[in-house]
Amino acid sequence: MNHSVALHKPKKKLDDRIAHLLSLADVAVNGHRPWDIRVHNDNFYPTVLKCGSLGLGESYMDGWWDVPQLDEFICRVFKANLQDRVISVQDYLFYLQALVLNEQCPKRAYEVGEKHYDIGNDLYERMLDKHMIYSCGFWKNASTLDEAQEAKLDMVCRKLELKPGMRVLDIGCGWGGMAQFAAQNYGVEVIGITISKEQAALARERCAELPIEIRLQDYRNLSETFDRILSLGMFEHVGYKNYRTFMKKVRSLLKEDGLFLLHTIGVNRSQKTIDSWIQKYIFPNAVLPSAKQITAAVEGVFVLEDWHNFGADYDKTLMHWYKNFHSNWHTLKKKYDERFFRMWKYYLLTCAGSFRARSNQLWQIVLSPRGIPGGYRAHYK
C-alpha cells in the first residue's frame, strides 16, 4: 500500500505543478470555462514539463488534451508569460543552433517553401481570401476577409505612391495577389519572387494576362533596379544574421527617389529563434524581428519614413482563416489526415491568441533611400 502511494507521488507533483502554472493564467485543468483544458492522457503532464512549447503542441496533435476555445487559452498563457516559465532542452538546442549556424543561408532558403508553402494550393485556396493573401488584413473599415485584405492591398499601394508605368518588386510574392492587385488598379509592372514552387506555378497562372513576371528566386540573387519595392510577410524568414544583408540588398535595387514598404510580424523583445513547435511543424528556420533589430539593420541604409502597427488585426485575420479552414475540412480531409487537422487548428488558433495577448505585432514600415523632400505623408484610411 505504501509502495503504491510512493509510486503515485511523482505524478501528483507533476499534476500539481502544471495546475499551479495554469492557475497563474486563470486556467483550470478539467474546469468548465471555455479556456479551461481537459486532459485525456496523463502523459500530458511530464511531456509539457520536459518539452515545453513543443510538448504542449505535440500532445495536442496527439489528442492528449483539448480546450473549447484554444485561442483564448493561449491568449491567457501569453498574458501570464507562462512560455518563459518552462524552457525545454529542445529550446536550448534550437537556440544554440541559431547561434552557430546561419539557418537562413542561401542553401536553406527554399526549405520553408518545400515544407510549408508547397503542401497544397488547395488548402490555401480554401483558407484565404479571393486574392490569396497570406498576411494580416486591415480591418478598420472592413467586415469580411475579402474587404480586409483588399483594404490592406490598397493601403500598401497608396503608401508606396504607385503611379502607372512604375516597375515594382514584390519580395515574397506568394500566389501573386499583391502583384495582381497593383497591376490591375495602379497600372504598374511587377516582378514577384518566391521560394515556393507551388506558389510560383499558381501565381503565374493567376497573373498570366498582366504585366507581371513571377520568379522562383532568392532575394540575394537579384541585381536589377526598381521604382518601388515591397515585401509582405516574408521578412520573418530572413533571419537575424541576415537583416542588414537584406536591407542593403533592397537598397541596392531601389532607385534614389524610390520607396520600400516592409510588412512583417514583430515581437516585443529581440530573439534569435522562434517557438519550438512552430519551428518544427510550421515555419522551419523562421524568426520574428524586434523593432530594435529592424532599426539596427536600417541604420545608415535607409531613412525611416513611417511605422504603422496594426497587430491586433492579425487576431481577426487568423480567426477568419480558421473559420474557412474548418468549414472546408469536409473537402480537405480527403487529402489531409486528422493529425494534420489538429496541427493546423493549433497553428492558426494559437497564433490568434498570441496577437490577442499583444505578444506579437504587425508592422508596416516605409523606408526611403535619402528621405522624401518635404516629408512623407502617411496614407492610412
Q: With bands split at pLDDT 50, 70 and 90, how would you rate the model's confidence at 381?
A: low
This prediction's pTM: 0.92
Q: How many CA atoms lie within 13 A of 301 on its CB side?
A: 21
Q: Is the pLDDT of residue 8 over 90?
A: no
Q: 33: domain range?
A: 2-97
Grid coordinates belonging to 79: 498574458
CA–CA separation, 160 vs 116, rounded Å? Answer: 29
Q: With bands split at pLDDT 50, 70 and 90, how would you rate the model's confidence at 59?
A: very high
Please tell me the predicted confidence (pLDDT) of residue 97.
57
Looking at the structure, tell me whether residues 119 and 22 fall in a common domain.
Answer: no
Grid coordinates belonging to 145: 476577409
Number of domains forming the structure of the chain: 2
Among residues 75, 157, 173, 351, the one annotated as catalytic is 351
Grid coordinates belonging to 309: 502597427
Select from 46, 42, 48, 40 the least CA-distant residue to 65. 40
Looking at the structure, tell me whether residues 53 and 151 fall in a common domain.
Answer: no
Select from 255, 372, 367, 266 the least CA-distant residue to 310. 266
Looking at the structure, tell me whether residues 259 and 364 fall in a common domain.
Answer: yes
Looking at the structure, tell me whether residues 215 and 330 fall in a common domain.
Answer: yes
Looking at the structure, tell me whether residues 129 and 93 fall in a common domain.
Answer: no
Q: With bands split at pLDDT 50, 70 and 90, how would you rate the model's confidence at 2?
A: very low
Looking at the structure, tell me whether residues 17 and 166 fall in a common domain.
Answer: no
Backbone angles phi, psi at 164, to 5 degrees: -55, 140
Looking at the structure, tell me whether residues 29 and 168 fall in a common domain.
Answer: no
The verdict on residue 357 lying in a domain is yes
Looking at the structure, tell me whether residues 18 and 167 fall in a common domain.
Answer: no
Rounded CA Rg of the chain: 22
- 167-171 vs 189-194, strand pairing mode: parallel
Is 351 a residue of the active site?
yes
Looking at the structure, tell me whether residues 142 and 75 fall in a common domain.
Answer: no
The verdict on residue 205 lying in a domain is yes
Looking at the structure, tell me whether residues 231 and 174 fall in a common domain.
Answer: yes
Please tell me the predicted confidence (pLDDT) of residue 139.
98
Looking at the structure, tell me whether residues 82 and 135 fall in a common domain.
Answer: no
Q: What is the mean pLDDT of residues 30-46?
A: 94
Q: What is the mean pLDDT of residues 220-240?
A: 96
CA–CA separation, 214 vs 202, rounded Å? Answer: 10
Looking at the structure, tell me whether residues 347 and 228 fall in a common domain.
Answer: yes
The verdict on residue 374 lying in a domain is no
Q: With bands split at pLDDT 50, 70 and 90, how would you rate the model's confidence at 102?
A: low
The verdict on residue 314 lying in a domain is yes
CATH of the domain at 301: 3.40.50.150
